[in-house]
Amino acid sequence: MTTRFAAVQACREAYALAEGPVWDQARERLLWVDIDAGTVHEGRLDLATGAVTATTAHTFGGTVGAVAVSADGEFLVAEREVLTRVDAGGRRTELARVLPPGVRSRLNDGAVDPAGRFLIGSMALDDREGQDVLARLDGTGCVLLDDDLTLSNGLAWSPSGDRLYSIDSVPRVVWERAYDPVTGQAGPRRELFRLADGMPDGMCADADGNLWIAVYGGGRVECRDLGGRLLAVVEVGAPDVTCPAFAGPDLDVLVITTAGGGADPARHPGAGRLFTARVGVRGLATPYWAPPRS
């Protein structure tokens, strides 16, 4: 039997394309991005109410697909084509170029692997298919894992760190591959399952190894086991659900981002807001990004 939950709206602010929530355990803060506004947001999570209060915004010159944080509080920001390091004093340094200049693509979803490496995918901004990438940042250079994607999206690892799951949204595929959490080496990918109804977007894993997948255009987050069986559904009061992440000191609050840019606010007043839900399971702690040594 599929368990059903209802998420509650967590903030008043509406974002054009909120994405990539990250829980910074050491500082008990939530990070997320507004891709189209080119902004990284910091906020606080009220455990009693599930409300999220935005506290600080960092604006960049173009799109911002994802953010990661180090144990010392430095940011790694995926701008349109490059990865930018932001130190504790706010100084910004281009760390690595992922996409060639002027390509009709942008960086999209990213995540940190169990050893602190950052993985980032890209998506086409035109009708090209099968030409975008998933890359791993090693030091100040990138290693390609895939170069045949259309809309690289959600990333998650198994509780042991030895399996990597990734999404290509346009064909609606969740991929799986072996992953060495020590070296970052990835094996060949295989199709785990496809969504028949709705486009898979962002993704996270829980402590039991099940996958929580945002269904863009479907107004929900789905929890599926590795065989693709639907275990739970979180109904969200916005159609374009972009990404879930577990947050809070006990990693038992599911934070969900949504997009507001394409929705009619009269019909969908929750579009572009953040939502939260208690779903009865705990997530995996988000590893801290390990910056390259100077």
pLDDT at 264: 78
Give the start-to-end residue ranges of the domains of the chain. 3-277
Check if the beta carbon of residue 200 is closer than 8 Å to that of residue 174: yes
CATH node for 3-277? 2.120.10.30
CA distance 251 to 117: 21
Q: What is residue 294's predicted lDDT score, i.e. its pLDDT?
A: 61
Which of these, 185, 181, 171, 85, lies nearest to 132 by C-alpha position?
A: 171
Which residues are designated catalytic?
201
Indicate if the alpha-carbon torsion angle 214, 219, 225, 227 is positive or negative: negative
pLDDT for 211 = 98
Structure confidence at residue 189 (pLDDT): 97
Q: What is the DSSP letter of 88?
A: T
Residue-level pLDDT, tens digit, the chain, 294 residues: 899 999 999 999 999 999 999 999 999 999 999 999 999 999 999 999 999 999 999 999 999 999 999 999 999 999 999 999 999 899 999 999 999 999 999 999 999 999 999 999 999 999 999 999 999 999 888 999 999 999 999 999 999 999 999 999 999 999 999 999 999 999 999 999 999 999 999 999 999 999 999 999 999 999 999 999 999 999 999 999 999 999 999 999 999 999 998 777 778 899 999 999 999 999 999 999 999 886
pTM of the model: 0.97
Vertex 147: Cα angle to 144 and 150 (nearest 5): 130
Task: Tell me, rounded to whole angstroms, the distance of Cα 228 from its chain centroid.
Answer: 20
User: What's the alpha-carbon Rg for the chain, to the nearest Å?
Assistant: 17
For Cα atoms 155, 16, 53, give the angle at the middle one, nearest 5 degrees. Answer: 80
